[in-house]
Amino acid sequence: MTDDYAGGRLTIDLGALQSNWRTLSAISPASECAAVVKANAYGIGTAQAARALAEAGATTFFVAHPSEAKAVREASSDAVIYVLNGLAPGACGALAAIRARPVLGSREEIDEWTAFVKATGADEAAAIHIDTGMLRLGLGPDEAQELLPRGLGFRPSLLMSHLACADEPERPETEAQRAAFVELQRLLPETPASLSNSAGTLLPKTSGGDLGFDLRRPGVSLYGSMPVAGRPSPLKPVVRLDARVIQVREAPSGATVGYGGAERLKRPTRLAILSLGYADGVFRAGGSEDGAPGATAFAGDAPCPFVGRISMDLIAVDVTGAGEVKRGDWVEILGDHVGVDALAGACGTIGYEVLTSLGRRFARSYVG
């Protein structure tokens, strides 16, 4: 079966991806702009994204798992690749074979990598992750103070931490993390340092100083999502999703639509049924109920509100005011009228989750 009969078309603009990397790189030109391509490059395809970003000028990439590092290495033979989720037990040889660098965040990981380097005699670099307030991964400040001054048995190529609240600029925690990072950076003064994620890249300063350091690690912003709410976005949309209309029907006032009869129609309504559902990553929370609107699709320039609950494979939208909409037409779910963050807001979630949840049943194409 070919993609000609898919219920959804996902179009990925690699030119927009490259443009976003250049935009983010220009914000703090004294600091290298890396690219985070974990989670299948936020849903758009690891190999395709890595190749496009390398062509744009990115030389350093971050992934979460060794399998993702392998995909990036296959796409770029000379990229510097860091594995954010640390060092899985016994994984030293596998990472060294593809020239991927683990981000070490515990005493156990540091000891295992040190033993591997000593045993093989290889010059294998790795990053050190210190925790400045996220309480997720990384050496605590006391551990860092104990371990790092005594010297490491390998070449530390990066000292990094991760911002917890940078998407809320008024929060004081970001400046507290920056100050803590500066203090701990003194333990490895010759090692390049990295603190900023997407939000820290887009808002590169706090009251106390610059967040850029030597290298920034934007992720979701590369793919067109603006992680800082209420700010104008300099980013281009990277993904477009269109859904196929499989039936158009007339419904009388007072009729209920979908599971549970969650929405009762207030007027005679023309409904288009789309071949798309929560199995494709359009979250069930984006449906509507009486008195509570949901997400909105577009037929051309005409808004078409979701009607009733989203099913696994189907969504009903109101096309009463959309002109001629017929079986076989395509309706925009993400695109010129509906950005990733707008759809996320309608579904009560964030752009990260929308992008990484886009389903496997779509017909995918790459442009740009």
Catalytically annotated residues: 38, 259
Q: Can you say how many angstroms the Cα of residue 306 is from the centroid of all Cα atoms in its chain?
A: 25
CB distance 335 to 298 below 8 Å? yes
Q: Classify burial at 98, counting beta carbons within 10 Å of its beta carbon; exposed 0-12, middle 13-18, buried 19 or more.
A: middle
Helices and strands: H and E segment counts in the chain: 11, 19
Q: Which residue has the tokens 């917890």?
A: 164
Distance CA 170, CA 174 (A): 9
Q: What are phi and psi of 24, to 5 degrees?
A: -65, -35
Q: What is the DSSP letter of 281?
A: T
Which helix (H) or strand (E) covers residue 188, if one does? none
3-state secondary structure of 156: strand
Angle 46-56/14-27 helices, nearest 10 degrees? 50
